[in-house]
Amino acid sequence: MLNAERLEAIRAWQAQDPDQATVTALDHLVERAEAGESDAVAELVDAFAGRLEFGTAGLRAALGPGPNRMNRVVVAQAAAGLARWLVEHGHPGARVLVGYDARYNSDVFARDTAEILAGHGLRAMLTETHVPTPVVAFGIGHFDCVAGVVVTASHNPPQDNGYKVYVGKSQIIPPTDGEIAAHIDAVADGSLADIPRSDAFETIGEPLLEAYVGRAASLVADNAPRDLRWVYTPMHGVGAEVVARVLDRTGFPAPALVDAQALPDPAFPTVAFPNPEEKGAMDLALALAVETDADVAIANDPDADRCALAAPFDGTWRMLTGDELGWLLADDALRRGTPGTYACSVVSSTLLGRMATAAGQPFEMTLTGFKWIGRVPNLAFGYEEAIGYCTDAEAVADKDGISTLTRLLALVAALKAEGSTVAQRLDDIARTHGVHLTSQLSFRVQDLSIIADAMARIRAELPEQLAGVPVTASDLGAGWNGLPPTDGVLFEGEGVRAVARPSGTEPKLKVYLQVSLPPERSADLAAARAEGSATMEQLKADMAAALGL
């Protein structure tokens, strides 16, 4: 049953909700809760336990009624808070680009945002239809916008949506996120009816897409090889149309398309989680790759800011890890003589630093997320192991699954013309720089206290050895190697490395693992990889035990 105070809060929130769907859903929840249904009570308690926190990832949560869910009330308050911050910081009348993916309510949330930005005197530009996130990230700079918003939950489950904010060409970082959050709190203390709106916003379509496609196509040299067979899946997302336009412009052959995943579908019916990294998500693409005797299979996630690659290794198809693809792309950039800083996140492999240094290029390690990687001065190439890659930093200072796909097509075609393969190129990298193996432990939870308890446990009893190797521990929460504090613990020893940290976007505790052997041990790659794999299994077991999970 609901007490009178909670019921009053629920009805007060409902009274300002402009969305009949969430108004009705709330009525049903209240009715069920009043009838004593415990799951309805629990849902209402959680939905009204507090306000959805606005942070460096913006907003991301399940759709539904209440201040702790994604809905039109919460989005309107966020848009008004952002608008107030922009005006306060000297940007009245400035351009702000708003785009959205094909998830449930993304178009509604985006239009609300454009109306509210316009109502505050800003020059809002709303995309005519759903677009990939990197198209918006590109458009912010192309149209000289001071900020941008993308309504997307990226690769989250279908019941989620989100709200990603850029100020300048990069995602927000502290203290900007906290300042915007304070404005959102102030808006939320008032009435939704008091938020000014206007339909005097622009819509932007073909000029944005044409500019982005032209830039992506420019990454391929006129005389580059183009002969390859490949499979593509946009994972029920919004990438396919833009990819097709890039192919038309560059002259690469059309892919064998995974038809069941080709069109935008917010239900993501063929996958448990619409993330190419998740087990089973690439099964249809891999089956089609075998059927068509493809050279590679490529996937974007639903908002097309991530990119995944699968290829045959000794006759067996498998996904490259996020680090392996990062090494491949970095090696390609270095071979092309691309100058500048090469950067990756602290949870990614250390091999990128070795590669950059060997080529005489600077290297920088950042906190997790492209809000940090994209801000590295003079960035030439950046990546994080969660299949996010920045391969054209001048145009998109963020991860971009479509420009990455374009780079990969050029690379695979060039390798094929040389009589080589993705697997062989990775072998070359290992012989030159040493065998590096990376893996993960990932613990998805319903109760976030499990993550907090595990992190407290490992900090209280820091392991002195992992996989039989003495290690030193660094608490990233206290800052490390010049990086700002973040919740995580790093362990390093000779040839072993592990980072434990809570995910910033999902209810997961993740452990990022690396085992490495020096180049002199890599003459026999099979033996070195077998040794490394055995060490990795022990490293996994030791870290799981240390976390108590």
506 band by pLDDT with thresholds 50, 70 and 90: confident
Alpha-carbon distance of 347 to 335, in angstroms, equals 25
Percent of the chain surpassing pLDDT 90: 92
Higher-confidence residue: 1 or 95? 95
Report the distance separating Cα 165 and Cα 150, nearest Å: 7
Residue closest to 162 by CA, chosen among 366, 346, 305, 323: 305
Mean pLDDT of the 351-365 span: 98
Mean pLDDT value of segment 240-262? 98
Instruction: Specify whether the CB–CB gap between 100 and 369 falls below 8 A.
Output: no
- How deeply is 191 buried, as exposed, middle or buried, from its count of CB atoms within 10 A (0-12, 13-18, 19+)? exposed
Read off the pLDDT of residues 290-304 as tens digits, 9 standing for 90 and up: 999 999 999 999 999
pLDDT tens-place string over residues 302-356: 999 999 999 999 999 999 999 999 999 999 999 999 999 999 999 999 999 999 9
Kindly report, residue by residue over 434-447, the tens digit of the pLDDT: 999 999 999 888 88
- Whole-number pLDDT of residue 1: 65
> If you average pLDDT over every residue of the chain, what do you get?
96
Residue 4's pLDDT band (cuts 50, 70, 90): confident
Would you state the torsion angle of the CA atoms of residues 111, 112, 113, 117, taken in this order, to the nearest 10 degrees?
A: 110
pLDDT band, residue 21 (cuts 50/70/90): very high
Q: 281 near 306, Cβ under 8 Å? A: no
Q: Which two structure tokens, joined as six digits, stand for 441?
A: 């432990």
Q: How high is the pLDDT of residue 117?
A: 98
Query: How is 210-276 classified by DSSP, letter by letter?
Result: HHHHHHHHTTS-TTS-----EEEE-TTSS-HHHHHHHHHHHTPPPPEE-GGGSS--TT-TT-SSS-T
Point out the least confidently predicted range of 55-59, 170-174, 438-442.
55-59
Evaluate whether 137 touches 397 at the Cβ level (below 8 Å). Answer: yes
d(CA 490, CA 487): 10
CA distance 132 to 489: 34
Mind listing the pLDDT tens digit for each residue in 461-474? 999 999 999 999 99
What single letter denotes the amino acid at residue 214? G
- Which tokens is 241 given? 């149309």
DSSP state letters, 480-506: BTTBPP-S-EEEEETTEEEEEEE-SSS
According to DSSP, the residues that pair with 60 across neighbouring strands are 162
Neighbours of 287 (CB within 10 A): 14
Question: Do residues 237 and 268 make contact, with C-beta atoms less than 8 angstroms apart?
Answer: no
Q: Give the active site residue among 154, 349, 403, 516.
A: 154
For residue 154, indicate whether it is catalytic: yes
Dig out the tokens for 365 from the structure.
């390690």
Using CA atoms, how far apart are residues 198 and 454, in angstroms rounded to an integer? 48
**Residue 55 DSSP symbol:** B
Once rounded to an integer, what is the mean pLDDT over residues 164-173? 94
- Looking at residue 405, its pLDDT comes to 98
- Strand 379-384 relative to strand 363-366, pairing: unpaired
Structure tokens, 265: 């579908």
Q: State the pTM of this model.
A: 0.95
Tell me phi and psi for residue 318, to 5 degrees. -155, 160
Q: Are 184 and 56 in contact (CB under 8 A)?
A: no
Main-chain dihedrals φ then ψ at residue 425, nearest 5 degrees: -65, -40
Average pLDDT estimate for 253-275: 97
